[in-house]
Every structure is written in C-alpha cells, then in structure tokens.
Structure 1
Amino acid sequence: MDPFADPDPYRRLTSEAIVLAGGGTAILLQLAHPAVAAGVARHSDFAVAPMRRLWGTLDFVTAITFGKADERAFVTRLVTSQHGRVNGEDAAGRRYDANDPEAQRWVAATLCWSAMRAHRRAFGRRTAGDADAIVRGFGALATSLGMPASLWPQSAREFDRYFRDTLGHLEITADARRARDELFTARNVSWWLRALMPLATRLAVDLLPVEIAAAYGHPHTHVSRFQAALGWAPLVLANRTLPRAVRILPSRIVPARLRQRIRLLETRASRPDTPATAH
C-alpha cells in the first residue's frame, strides 16, 4: 500500500507541504528551551549549514513516518550518533543532554504543534478524533530516539495541557537569540532562499504563542497579523485549490533522496579505501 494514500490522520497531515511552513516556528520553540538552545549553540553546524539541518530533520520525520524498516533504522542510528556528542553545561551552569527524554519530548512536541497550526491555517480545524490520532503519531518521533512512550500524551487534550505547562518554563537565552539571528539572517544559503527569509520570518513568528513571540522581540500586533495574513493568503489559496497529488510532492521527494543517500553510504562502506560517511 502506498503510505501516502493511508487514511491515517497523522500520515495525511505530515505528507502535506503546508506543514513545512511551520518549520521556522518549531525551531524557535525548540530554541526557547534552554537545554536545546545550549546544545545547538555548542554542538551544531546550524549557522554554517542551515539547509543541511533542515534536510536532516525532513529525512528523519519522513523516514520514521513513511519509510521502510531499513530507512527508519538508518535515520535513527544517524540522529542517535549525533545526539550522543551533545551534552555539557550552558553559560549558567545548567546541564544539557540531547538524550534527555524531556528534551526529546519537547522537540517532538514543537514539531507536532507547529505542523498542526500550519495545517489548520490552510484547511481549518480537525475533528477531535483526528487531532488525537495526530498527537499519537508524532510520539513515534521521540520514542524512536529512546523517550519512554509513557511520557507522550495520548490525546490532543493531554498534549495541549503539557504544551501550555511547558511554555511557562521556557526562557529565551542569549544562545537562543544568536541561533534565531543566524536562522533569519540566512547568510550561508542561496540568494533566492535569503530573499524568502522575510516572509518565512513573518510566518514563523505568526504561529508562535503570543508570549514566546513577545519574548523574542516580535509581539503580535494588528499590523503584524495583517502582514502575516497577506503572506499566508497565497499559500492557503494554493493548498485549497491544488490536488493532493501535487501538495504531497515534497514528501515523496524526501524518501527518494534518503534511499539514494543510503545506497551511497552502503557503496562506500563496501570499499575499504573510501570513507564510510557522506555529507
């Protein structure tokens, strides 16, 4: 069965291209967690290669959701290996560890929340049953990295309660602000991507909870909401008029790219005179 034709609400939502519009929001929410921001600041090449980080996230989410067993195993090993090096103390002496189950839960929660917000912007609210299924589906992202399944909410109501409670403990640190600036400056990407960053920034901030947007220095105002509405308008129109086969094309491209990468690594690993890693 074609996984992209699966009627499961989680798979249908995550296959839609519109959820990519929530990517910037998810990153800002992740950075608002001091432990995550410290890990990014001290161990990530985020500022040097933001698109590589984006592709890595897309590879992981798509493989866990739609991939075959070997593809899921590949991305899980890759991310687990990277996370194993991310630990230490931040400037305030607080410990951080990418393998901390609470940090993994928050990262998965930001992806869930941002994807649902972006999708709702284009297609409206979901039924309670669909929302529950979507929340449970996103739990697989965190549990695949070792988070105990018992930590993940099993309903949209539980998720919303966890999300709101966590917001009260977030902090926009200096690490978070530096990473935010690098993200939106986009100095190391193609010119056409830099040209899109003002719009991407506006959409990312628009989806943020009001208190987090204000903490980043981007308060929600009537003017900012109007500007965001202008940015969303063509995206909403396109997603409501284009057939689903077109809307999910990006999700079909990622698995094909991932399979090509796995084949390349396998080929290199079979040759003792060549490196076994690819970038």
Structure 2
Amino acid sequence: MTTSDRPRRRTAPREGADLGLFGPDSVTWRIHSDPAMAVAGYRALLLQATHPLVMAGFDDNSDFRQDPWGRLQRTGEWVATVTYGTTEQAERAGARLRRLHASLAPGVEPETGLSYRVDDPDLLRWVHCTEVDSFLTVYRRSGPRLSTADADRYVDEMRTSARLVGLDPATVPHDLAGLRTYLRDVRPQLRLTRVARRNVVFGFVPPMPGWVRLATPARPAWIGLMTLALALLPPWARRLYGLPGLPTTDVGAAGMSRMLRHAVLALPADWRRSPVEREARQRAAGTVPAAA
C-alpha cells in the first residue's frame, strides 16, 4: 500500500505547525480558494496593461508571446505559493522574484519616451493594487457575501504579499477606501499603448495545439473567459479599451461570473485546488497518513 492509498486520520494541528503567511482563518484563504479567481487573475492582467510603463516592462522582459501558457502557469504558482505555502516557501519565492527584478536592465517606453525599472516601487505598487482590486472585486461580484470589514481585512492582509515583491507595506493601501483612492489618483497616468493592444489581442487568441483547437471547445471557452474578465473591468478601464462603460455591462458580467462560479463549484474540491493548497489544508487540519 502506497502512502497515497493509506487511510487518513484527522488530528489537531501539531504545535508549531507552519500555516504560512496567512493561514486558514484569513480572508486571503477564503478569497483565493474561490473559483472566481480564474477570472480575477485575467482581469488583473487586463487592468495592469493600461499602465504604459508596466506594459513596456512586461513586453521587454517576459516570454509571454513565446510561452503564454507557461507564463500564466508560473504566475498562478506564485500566487498559490505566497497564499498557501509554508513561511519558508513564500519567503524564498519572494526573494527569487526580487533578485530577478533587480537583475533586469532599465528600459524605455517607446510612445512616451519615459524610462522605467521593473523594480520601481511605483510600478510594483500598481501591479499589487490591481491584483488586490481584481481578486476582491470579482469575488464579491461572483456572489459570495463579504462584509466591508472583511474587505478591509483582505486589503490589509495583502500588504504581506506586497512586502515579498519588494514594497514597503506602509506604502500600499491598508483598507478598501485607500485602495479606491489609489486607483483614482493613478488614472491620469493610464492609457492603452500599441504594445498593450497587441499583447491583449494575442492574449485572447494564444497559440494552442491543433488537436486542442479543433477537437475541443478550448478556443471559444478561452475567448469567453477573457471576454468576461474584460467586461468585469471598471467602466473607466473599459473605456480605455474602447468599450462602453454602461451599467448594463456590469450587471451582465456579474451574472455570468456567478454562473461560472457555480459550475466550477460543482466539481470535486480536490479537482479545483492546487497541490500546494491541498497540502496547506492538510497541515491546517492536522491530517496525516495513518500508520501502515
């Protein structure tokens, strides 16, 4: 009998068990484990693309166009490790990311002529805040109830993630009001450059193996997912993309997001959870392989 075949027993978590940077009682675990995050991640990418310097840094230093699926997978693994990994795993992932960012050469955004560094705190702060806003917004619009107090708590918890990428936690919003103020204040800097438009179009129709494209519904399903993420952007961001910022779009997108979430929730929990999340929940529950 292999370890995976053995019956499992539930015990109290052992004293000193490492539950990571957040733990099962955090709002972060509650939000990040929800199926709505599949759409929220793509909304964050679309929102990040509206900052010219962030988009230039991404385009100059990312292998997204050569390996889009690998790039998306690595981003998902980063979020999962920071959320559910042990403290050591999360801190190690943060150190690797900071070293990578520091090693990248400065660049110039071609349309504005402005120079940038990937590890510029202003750019890191934009990426951080758009992720937090997207995860929180899509979660709430997909149906689950979340009080304002818990929304504030989530924004505050995510300052730990900001520290890992190299930001001073004191310089990022600690509550929902602060997050909204930040997003409002940065809007004059935003526009959709030619590079951003090209990459967004590519993101809607990334390359797929022929058999996947022809024998499965993967292509239309992917386009539908990205279209939903685009519809869930705030009205001002949709207008940057040349789309209407009508309230009817908000209502329709929220309805579709709820339907998608309920469909995914019908799947077994282990199918929906990454390996690192399953391991974290086992540590939290004190579940260990029984003796042979």
| More moved, 5-14 vs 228-237 | 228-237
| More moved, 37-46 vs 70-79 | 70-79
Residues 116-265 of structure 1 mapped to structure 2, 5 A cutoff: 116-188=136-208, 190-191=212-213, 192-221=217-246, 228=253, 231-238=256-263, 242=266, 246=269, 249-254=271-276
Say which structure is richer in helix.
1
Give percent identity, aligned residues only: 26
Q: Structure 2 residue aligned with 1:85, among 104, 107, 132? A: 104
**Aligned counterpart, 1:69:** 87
Q: CA deviation at 1:161?
A: 1.1
1:36–1:254 distance in 2 versus 1, CA, 3 Å:
farther
**Mapped partners of 2:41, 2:61: distance in 1:** 20
| More moved, 96-105 vs 216-225 | 216-225
Q: CA deviation at 1:237?
A: 3.0
Q: CA deviation at 1:250?
A: 3.7
Q: Which has the higher contact order (CA 8 A, sep 6+)?
A: 2
Q: How many residues align?
A: 254
What is the TM-score of this pair, normalised by structure 2? Answer: 0.77
Q: Structure 1 residue aligned with 2:121, among 101, 107, 115? A: 101
What is the TM-score of this pair, normalised by structure 1? Answer: 0.80
**Mapped partners of 1:41, 1:251: distance in 2:** 30
SS of the residue corresponding to residue 173 of structure 2 reads coil
Equivalent pair of 1:203/1:232 in contact (CA under 8 Å): yes
- 5+ long unaligned stretches in structure 2: 1-12, 280-292
1:146–1:49 distance in 2 versus 1, CA, 3 Å:
same
Q: CA deviation at 1:22?
A: 1.1
- 5+ long unaligned stretches in structure 1: 258-279
> What is the Cα-based RMSD across aligned positions, in Å?
2.7
1:36–1:238 distance in 2 versus 1, CA, 3 Å:
same
1:58–1:187 distance in 2 versus 1, CA, 3 Å:
same
